[in-house]
Amino acid sequence: MTTLMMILGIVVFAIGLLVSIAWHELGHLSTAKLFKIRVPQYMVGFGPTVWSRKKGDTEYGVKAIPLGGYIRMIGMFPPGPDGKIQSRSTSPFRSMVEDARAAAFEELQPGDETRLFYTRKPWKRVIVMFAGPFMNLVLAVGLFFTVLMGFGITQQTTTVSSVQQCVVKQSENRDTCKKSDPASPAAAAGLRAKDKIVSFNGVKTDKWNTLSDEIRANPGRTVDIVVQRDGQEKVLHAKIATNQVAKKDGSGQIVQGEYINAGFLGFSASTGVVRQDFGDSVTWMGDRVGDAVNSLAALPGKIPALWDAAFGDGPREPDSPMGVVGAARVGGEIFNLDIPATQQLGMALMLVAGFNLSLFLFNMLPLLPLDGGHIAGALWESLRRNVAKVFKRPDPGPFDVAKLMPVAYVVAGIFVCFTVLVLIADVVNPVKIS
């Protein structure tokens, strides 16, 4: 049964991956066709073609390796300065430029002169290249909203799980009380497990963060605490202690290893699956986008630890970079967790949503051969032409992105090496959730 559920989780993620890739390329395809650019191919995957069908002047197909996709547009790069598509050179870097330029025109047909990508205004090219990552962002937001508002997420609630009997500094990381430890305010007030705190010091507390913030903000004060117990409301009175507690960031998450002095009541909160309203969902997604941006910026710094995890005896950190293989494995583990099936599905959708958010951010990097690199080229061309117009200079013409192909090959080589490193780490020392 465990193996079967593992396979099911991997299959669910694989389907989500294929849909995400197809959805991304559909953004490029639809906007390219909108602007009358000829698109000979729309493919999901790489390698040998498994299935294809031609409709109009576009071949739609699926390839054997589901690790990406592409559309082929005519005239991605302008002709050379001499107006020719190809003129061979003995320079290896110049050959890269000429090969890229030739590939952009290799399927040129009569009548395509007006359907070339590079002939479109820069703002149209920006839309075509941005449409792919934007589709990933739309899918991520849609899946996040579906899970947050439809399935709910596991979080702390205002229901008491257990009551601490004494005041202990959280940095001491102990559960037993010493004779010198004062009694906790919660124990002294008569708070019990399964009590639901509905208000604190006159403030309604239907969310854990609200309750936690109120407790922390009232050290030394005697407050009224209204709880629901056995179907009835009961008022308790507690003098809030001052204690060393874990520091929280702006989104209410615990900052590991950092502590502050604040109000302390002395109980553990129960966790439960809570559906989020629209406002909370937007806030949660905003926090995740910020986390994703920070993770992308910190990626180079995580490579040494990733290398040690792959080839040494280092541990695989929970926030370590993870590839498609690792994500598929996590998808399989999700379906083996001892949680309701609805929550398994919700976590799987969250995984696919996070993958799409990462695709959006990664593709927006202003580097060729990523979409962001083509967007940067179109914006630079627009700037050059507008500056020339303002100063009444000759139109500099299209920006020749093909000249950046040697850089693109270097970037692609780095990406390939990084992908191989992540793949090895995912196989020999994977990130685990259980």
Which residues are part of the catalytic machinery? Answer: 25
3-state secondary structure of 219: coil
120: nearest Cα among 157, 78, 152, 81 = 78
Q: Are the CB atoms for 338 and 325 separated by under 8 Å?
A: no
Q: Are the CB atoms for 115 and 36 separated by under 8 Å?
A: yes
How many Å apart are CA 20 and CA 136, to the nearest integer?
7
How many Å apart are CA 187 and CA 173, to the nearest integer?
19
Sign of CA dihedral 216, 221, 222, 224: negative
- Cβ neighbors of 34 (< 8 A, separation 6 or more) are none
367: nearest Cα among 399, 397, 401, 400 = 401
359: nearest Cα among 376, 371, 347, 375 = 371
Q: What are the b/e assignments for 74-83, b being 16+ CB within 10 Å?
A: bbbbbbbeee
**Neighbour count for residue 383 (Cβ, 10 Å):** 12
How many Å apart are CA 356 and CA 13, to the nearest integer?
12
**Neighbour count for residue 315 (Cβ, 10 Å):** 10
Sign of CA dihedral 89, 95, 99, 102: negative
Pick left, alpha or beta for residue 367 (phi over 0 → left; psi -120 to 50 → alpha; otherwise beta).
beta
User: Pseudo-torsion of CA 91, 92, 98, 104, nearest 10°?
Assistant: 180
